[in-house]
């Protein structure tokens, strides 16, 4: 009898428009390692900064190297934006916490990529 009551309540909720099924997320999104993604993003941000610095601060950079760096900068920016979108999806749609996705704390420093910069 209990299953019939549950079914009846579910049908009644659907007809009233009050039934919200649990969200279904694609497997590739559910399986993201958010910590690893943060670390990868930090490396890519650092690489982009190196390429930007090289093209603006090294006037003797070879034409070939300059062309490669200048082509890589927007490509890296695109990947960074894709990761940003995935992180926003994780918090805004999937309901993950900022700490899980971004590892933000009260004393957060946006230069998490500092550990990847050359000394």
**What would the pLDDT profile of 36-93 be if each residue is shown by its tens digit?**
999 999 999 999 999 999 999 888 889 999 999 999 999 999 999 999 999 999 999 8
Annotated domain spans of the chain: 25-116
The DSSP symbol for 65 reads H
> Is the CB of residue 83 less than 8 Å from the CB of residue 37?
yes
Distances (CA, A) of 57 to 7, 22, 30, 52, 63: 69, 52, 42, 8, 14
pLDDT at 12: 65
pLDDT at 2: 55
pLDDT at 58: 86
Q: Say if residue 6's pLDDT is above 90.
A: no
- Backbone dihedral angles phi then psi of residue 25, each to the nearest 5 degrees: -105, 145
Using pLDDT thresholds of 50, 70 and 90, give the confidence band for residue 25.
confident
pLDDT at 84: 95
């Amino acid at each position: 009898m209990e299953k019939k009551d549950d079914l009846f309540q579910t049908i009644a909720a659907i007809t009233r428009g009050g039934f919200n099924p649990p969200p279904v997320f694609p497997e590739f999104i559910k399986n993201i390692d958010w910590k690893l993604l943060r670390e990868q993003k930090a490396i890519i941000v650092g690489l982009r900064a190196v390429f930007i610095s090289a093209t603006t601060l090294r006037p003797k950079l070879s034409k070939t190297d300059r062309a490669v760096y200048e082509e890589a900068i927007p490509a890296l920016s695109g990947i960074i934006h894709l990761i940003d979108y995935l992180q926003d999806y994780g918090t805004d749609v999937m309901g993950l916490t900022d700490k899980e996705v971004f590892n933000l704390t009260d004393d957060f420093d946006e230069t998490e990529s500092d550990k990847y910069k050359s000394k």
